[in-house]
Amino acid sequence: MFLIPNDVAYICNIVSCPLISCPRETHPSVIIVLPNISEKFRRELKRLNALLVINIIVGAIGMGMSISYGILKVLAIKLPITVDSVALLPLVALGVAGFAVSIRWLISTVETFSEDQENNDE
């Protein structure tokens, strides 16, 4: 692992250690590695935002597909109810269930997205 100069904080004159080199003005003692946490956190928040947008898109596509599937099956049912019409009812229920799952998916994703935006503002 290579260290970037900004990632290293030198704490000198605490304990003498001949294996660690400090700047010339100070006596070598201890090196504490401090990763650039704010930059890493910012990158992770960008990745989270991208994943949340993808989740919203997938949820919207799922909702549209379940609505079209359910509506097409409802339109296929004819008023004089026959055996064929009754056979379509489980498929309509499948479309309604898909719609409910996609709505729940969208709501939970949007809640997470709004919490993430609040964290970005802070």
Q: Exposed, middle or buried, 102 (CB in 10 Å: 0-12/13-18/19+)?
A: buried
Give the angle subtended at the CA of 73 by the CAs of 71 and 76, to the nearest 5°. 110
pLDDT-based confidence at 23, cuts 50/70/90? low
> Per residue in 45-88, pLDDT tens?
889 989 999 999 999 999 999 999 888 888 888 778 888 788 88
Q: Domain ranges in the chain?
A: 1-35, 37-121
